[in-house]
Amino acid sequence: MIFAQLTDIHIKAGGKFAYNCVDTLSHLRNAIDHLNGFHPKLDFVVISGDLVDLGDAGEYDLFKQEIARLDMPFYVIPGNHDHRDVMREAFADHDYLSNEGPLQFSIEKEGLRIIGLDTTSAGHPHGHFEAEKQVWLRRELEAHKDQPTLVFMHHPPFKTGIQHMDNIMLKQADEDFWPVFSGYSQVLQIACGHVHRAIETFKNGIPVSICPASGHQVALDLDPEGEPSLVMEPPAVRIFRWTKGELINHLSFIGDFGAQHPFFGGDGKLIN
Ligand SMILES: [Fe+2]
C-alpha cells in the first residue's frame, strides 16, 4: 500500500495570493497533478490541515472544486487556519469524520490503523490537546492495541528550534499529549504539518515527522530572535509505503526537475 500526506495548502478565495505573494491555488493544482501522476498509483491521500487560509465557506468551496480532480480517496483533519464547524459542514459527506466535537478519525487500511487528530484550538494559532481529545485517543489506542498505527496531526508536539513556530506548536504537549501514549507500543510514526518544512525527530520512542507544505515553506531560521518569514523552497508531499508490517516514508518534491537519467548503458555496465 502506498499513500501520501499533503499539507498546509492555504487556499484563498477570489484569486488572492497568500501573504500577497503565494499563488496557493496554482500550487494545489500542481500538487494534485503530482499525486495523480505518481507511479505506482497512490491508494489514498491524508491532508493534514490548513486546507484553506481563513476558514471561510467560499475557500472550502474552491478547495473542494479543485481536490475533486484527485484520482484517489482523501481524508482530512483541520489545522489552525481551518474553521472546525465550517470545515465539518464542507465535508459533511466524509463519513469517517466525527459528527461532533473534535474533527478527527480512526480508520484501518490493510492492517495499518490510521488516526487523524484534531489539535486545533478555536481562535488560536497554537494547538491544544484537551481532556476530551485525550480520552478519545486513549480509547482508540486501547481498542486497537495490536494494530500498527500511524497518527496524523496538524500541530507538532515538539520544538523545532524555529522560534515563531514553536510559539504556536501543540501547547502543553509534555503534559497533555505524550502521556496518552504510555503503555502503548503500536504507534510507528506521528506525521504532522503546520511548520511548512521537512523536519524529523524521535520522541518518547516514536518517530515524529513534519511534511513540507504544498506551496510556501517556513524559512529555516534557528536564531531565537529570527523574524517570521516564508521562502519558496520546493513544495513536497510525503509518500508512505506500508508493506509486510513495515512503514517507511519518502519526501517527493513537486516541480519540474528534468528527465531521469539511466545509471547503466545499453551494455548493462555503469556509465563511465
Ligand atoms: Fe500552514
Q: What is the pLDDT of residues 125-162, one digit of tens each?
A: 999 999 999 999 999 999 999 999 999 999 999 999 99
Residues 212-225 have a mean pLDDT of: 98
As a whole number, the mean pLDDT across the chain is 97
Q: In terms of Cα–Cα distance, which of 241, 4, 206, 7 is closest to 112?
A: 241
Cα–Cα distances in Å, from 133 out to 29, 33, 242?
A: 33, 35, 27
- Measure 51 CA to ligand 1 centroid, in angstroms: 8
Q: Which class for 235: exposed (0-12), middle (13-18), buried (19 or more C-beta within 10 A)? A: buried
pLDDT band with cut points at 50, 70 and 90 for residue 227: very high
**What pLDDT score was predicted for residue 57?**
98
pLDDT band with cut points at 50, 70 and 90 for residue 27: very high
- Measure 1 CA to ligand 1 centroid, in angstroms: 27
- Measure 211 CA to ligand 1 centroid, in angstroms: 11
- Measure 214 CA to ligand 1 centroid, in angstroms: 10
Q: Which domains does the chain have, with CATH numbers?
A: 2-253 (3.60.21.10)
- Measure 72 CA to ligand 1 centroid, in angstroms: 23
The CA-CA-CA angle for residues 96, 94, 108, to 5°, reads 30
Interval 46-101: pLDDT, tens: 999 999 999 999 999 999 999 999 999 999 999 999 999 999 999 999 999 999 99
- Measure 23 CA to ligand 1 centroid, in angstroms: 14
Please tell me the pTM assigned to this model. Answer: 0.97
- Measure 53 CA to ligand 1 centroid, in angstroms: 8
Cα–Cα distances in Å, from 202 out to 37, 184, 206, 223?
A: 32, 16, 5, 22
- Measure 194 CA to ligand 1 centroid, in angstroms: 5
Q: Are 235 and 27 in contact (CB under 8 A)?
A: yes
d(CA 43, CA 39): 11
